[in-house]
Amino acid sequence: MAFQHLAPFADSLVSLLAIISLLLSFVMLGSRWLKNYLYAFALESWAIALISALMGYYGGFPELYFIAVLTGVFRGMFLPYLIWRIIRRLKVNRELQPIVAPSMSMVIGALLVIFALIVSYRVAADVGLEATVVVLALTVMLSMKMIGFVILSVRHEAVGQILGLLVLENGIFLGSQILVPGMPLLIEMVILFDLLIVVVCFEVLVRYLLSQVGTTSSHDLRRLVG
Amino acid sequence: MKGALLLILSGAPLAATLGCLLMQRRQAAEMFNLAAALAVFAAALPLPFLVGNTGDAPAFFWGHYILLDRAGAWVVLCTAIVYLLSSIYSVGYMRQLKEEAERLPRFYALFAAFAFTTLVAPLMNDVGLYWIVIELTTLVSTFLVAFERAAESIEAAWKYIMVVSAGISLALLGTILLYWGGSFVLGPSYQMTWSALASAAPGVNPVVLVLGFLLVVVGYGTKAGLAPMHSWLPDAHSEGPAPVSAMLSGALLNAAMIGIARFLAIMRGAGLGPLSGTVLVVFGILSLLVGALFIVRQRGIKRLMAYSSVEHMGVVALGLGFGGTFGVAGAFYHMLVHSLNKSLMFFGAGNVMRAYGTKAIGGIKGVGRAFPVSGTLWLAGAVAITGAPPFGLFFSEFTIMRAGLTPQMSWAVYAMAALLIVIFIGFMNHFRSMYYGPPENDPAEALVEPDRWSVLPMWLALLPLLVLGLWWPAGIWSYLAALAHSLSPGMP
């Protein structure tokens, strides 16, 4: 039997945190200031860490406490620190040429959440769990995924793109904590470390971009076509 | 025995990486990498024979984290061949990059590390670990693509890591959904192995399965260069050094393809074969279409080869999608011959680019006259890569087409045949202009044959290709038939 029933109190706490994470990804979508992305991302990671801890406590998966600590430390502190270093090096603190105005991207995000809700409701109804936290978990997971893709496609700045990628990962991680809390510990840990390597690689590449190409905006990366 | 071979397979490149980093000397780094490539090849060559003899049961190592089955052994062999050929080639090629001389040890360290990740990826028994290793291949190869530090290379590397990381995160989402689906059957906590997912799949809700499968195909399809997720591929393949392009095309794409093949097998086992097969057929035809369009109008020599990789991954996807013994066996056979052939093509392209000092097809004239040996080898490779007899690719493409001749799929076979003809014409037209175009009017340009290190791997790639086209060993066919059988459960 799959893990699906939580006590009502735990259920509402987890739902609250999931919705907070979703709102924070809207903050990232709507703001032009790179610092704001960063704070929103750090907070989002902390919300996910709390979800892990709650699932560990109420669901009876003690190993999730460990994951919660790792998530808080790595995603909530270390990754934001690394990205803060990149921002400092770049001396850019806001998105200069957004393709789509922030208000418009918020509207797109809202539409995507509705789409995600429809898909999740359909999936959850098919497995007979339409009145549980599963619907919300799937919705938040899919919408954060799509919002991440929107961020990736409307942002030019390297940092904005990296954070878009991290939102994609956060969405998956959040969903997996609620849907499959029993996932082998090894996988979750390796995914966390993998993320760390990704960000370090990005840092190096940003340095190359600055020194060799002279720009960190993908707007100017258009030598290779056809 | 098999355990020891696997240890060599994974240990040799890692040791070479360490050696290159510690010694920091060019000659030492070349030798470490070459020795590792030879060891890997020697270890990978007997693997299919050893696996083929043990019946149907795949072997597990190191606490079920390593799976050695027929498909894995085959793809590892393909990777080992490309690694050996491109290691030989890179000795000659990289020495000519005069300005990078002191960074060469780092190049070989990264190259061996990249080989390590592509070699172990097909052997992962855990679906989550497979995802991570595929992600690692991206991270390592990004720096190989950016190695020359030109603005174009860094742009290509940035696009590569961005597009592929974003794409592959979809595969992780799909994997999690499939695991979630499996938890309704196997309970909340179980090992995330291929066999566990396969055993759970028949009991999982089809909506969850299909959603997960689509996400996984789009995710790993990005990595495998299936259109329309291929946008990173021409950039990364054309801007990296030639041996890196060969590894990306001949080794990395297969490592991502085997994941798709395994997920497809899970879907077939769950009785969703026709739907999921059609998904792959559609991606395959799209890749052929994109390949054909961009090959015909292409101006860059390595981009031409890159789009040809998109095309050939499309052919592999078609084979997997058609399914059955012919389809799957043809697809895996195609992986081998494509690995050989595409290495040859990138080596030739590297030589020509180096000699003429340009990446543009328009700037290259009279290759046949200037390079009687390597030019002829390259031309033979071009004939082979377009699927003309008597080379191996003709046979594999023919087998795949035969697999598709069913009432439901025959439209795809006709489309495939038409697109392959278009690609043949377009590809050979570029070679015609490079070989028989009007001669350059400055005869002062002294073009010399590339050195032995650059020509030897071309021979080593072309000869097996010719042999595999003329002689179809029964042993390989029974091996591939058994492989196809194990990857298509629920089929006659």
Range with lowest mean pLDDT among B60-69, B168-177, B445-454: B445-454
Distance CA B34, CA B53 (A): 30
Task: Inspect the interface and report whether the beta carbons of A183 and B136 lie closer than 8 Å.
Answer: no
Q: Which of B154, B207, B238 sits opposite A209 (nearest CB)?
A: B154
Distance CA B324, CA B484 (A): 7
Helix (H, G, I), strand (E, B) or coil at B335: helix
Distance from CA of B308 to the nearest CA of A (A): 14
- Report the domain count for chain B: 1
- Sort out which chain B residues have CB atoms less than 8 A from A190's CB and list them: 128-129, 132
Task: Inspect the interface and report whether the beta carbons of B132 and A194 lie closer than 8 Å.
Answer: yes
Domain range enclosing B21: 2-487
Q: Binning pLDDT at 50, 70 and 90, where does residue A204 land? A: confident
Task: Inspect the interface and report whether the beta carbons of A1 and B135 lie closer than 8 Å.
Answer: no
Per-residue pLDDT at B492: 47
Per-residue pLDDT at A95: 64
Distance CA B487, CA B316 (A): 14
Q: Which of A171, A197, A208 sits opposite B154 (nearest CB)?
A: A208
Per-residue pLDDT at B418: 95
Q: What would the mean pLDDT of B464-487 be, rounded to a whole number? A: 89
Q: Which of B135, B155, B187 sits opposite A224 (nearest CB)?
A: B155
Best B129, B176, B361 residue to mutate vs chain A (most A CBs within 10 Å): B176
Helix (H, G, I), strand (E, B) or coil at B447: coil
What distance, in Å, lies between the first and last C-alpha atoms of chain A? 51
Task: Inspect the interface and report whether the beta carbons of A226 and B146 lie closer than 8 Å.
Answer: no
Task: Inspect the interface and report whether the beta carbons of A168 and B166 lie closer than 8 Å.
Answer: yes
Share of chain B above pLDDT 70, in %: 96
Best A115, A143, A197, A201 residue to mutate vs chain B (most B CBs within 10 Å): A201
Q: Is B492 within a domain?
A: no
Residue B383 β-bridge partners: none
Task: Inspect the interface and report whether the beta carbons of A172 and B128 lie closer than 8 Å.
Answer: no
**Residue pair B164/B237 in contact by the 8 Å Cβ criterion:** no
ipTM above 0.90, yes or no: yes
Task: Inspect the interface and report whether the beta carbons of A213 and B155 lie closer than 8 Å.
Answer: yes
What chain A residue is nearest to B236 in terms of C-alpha separation?
A224
Q: What would the mean pLDDT of B363-384 be, rounded to a whole number? A: 89
pTM score above 0.90: yes
Q: What is the mean pLDDT of chain B?
A: 90
Taking CB atoms and an 8 Å cut-off, how many pairs form between chains A and B?
A: 143
Q: Length of chain B, please?
A: 492
Per-residue pLDDT at B267: 94
Per-residue pLDDT at B446: 62
Q: Which of A119, A161, A201 sits opposite B139 (nearest CB)?
A: A201
Per-residue pLDDT at B338: 95
Q: Alpha carbon of A221 to those of A74, A156, A159, A212, B138: distances in Å? A: 31, 10, 15, 12, 20
Q: What would the mean pLDDT of B167-185 be, rounded to a whole number? A: 92
Give the start-to-end residue ranges of the domains of chain A.
9-212
Q: What are the φ and ψ backbone dihedral angles of B66, each rounded to 5 degrees?
A: -110, 130
Interval B332-350: pLDDT, tens: 999 999 999 999 999 999 9
Name which of A132, A190, A136, A138 is nearest A5 in CA terms: A132
Per-residue pLDDT at A140: 93
Helix (H, G, I), strand (E, B) or coil at B206: helix
B475: tokens are 């042993």
**C-alpha dihedral, A38 to A39 to A42 to A47, nearest 10°:** -140
Reply yes or no on whether the pLDDT at B445 is more than 70: no
Q: Alpha carbon of B197 to those of A224, B130, B449: distances in Å? A: 41, 14, 53
Distance from CA of A101 to the nearest CA of B (A): 22
Interval A10-31: pLDDT, tens: 888 999 999 999 999 999 888 8
Per-residue pLDDT at A1: 35
Which one has a higher pLDDT value, B40 or B445? B40
Which range in A57-61, A113-117, A182-186 is most confidently predicted, on average pLDDT?
Answer: A113-117
Interval B78-113: pLDDT, tens: 999 999 999 999 998 888 887 777 889 999 999 999
Tokens 């590792």 found at: B36
Best A119, A153, A180 residue to mutate vs chain B (most B CBs within 10 Å): A180
Range with lowest mean pLDDT among A54-58, A129-133, B69-73, B352-356: A129-133
Q: Specify the DSSP element, H or E, that contains B61.
A: strand B59-61
Q: What would the mean pLDDT of B215-244 be, rounded to a whole number? A: 93
Q: At what angle do helices A185-208 and B127-145 cross, to 10 degrees?
A: 10
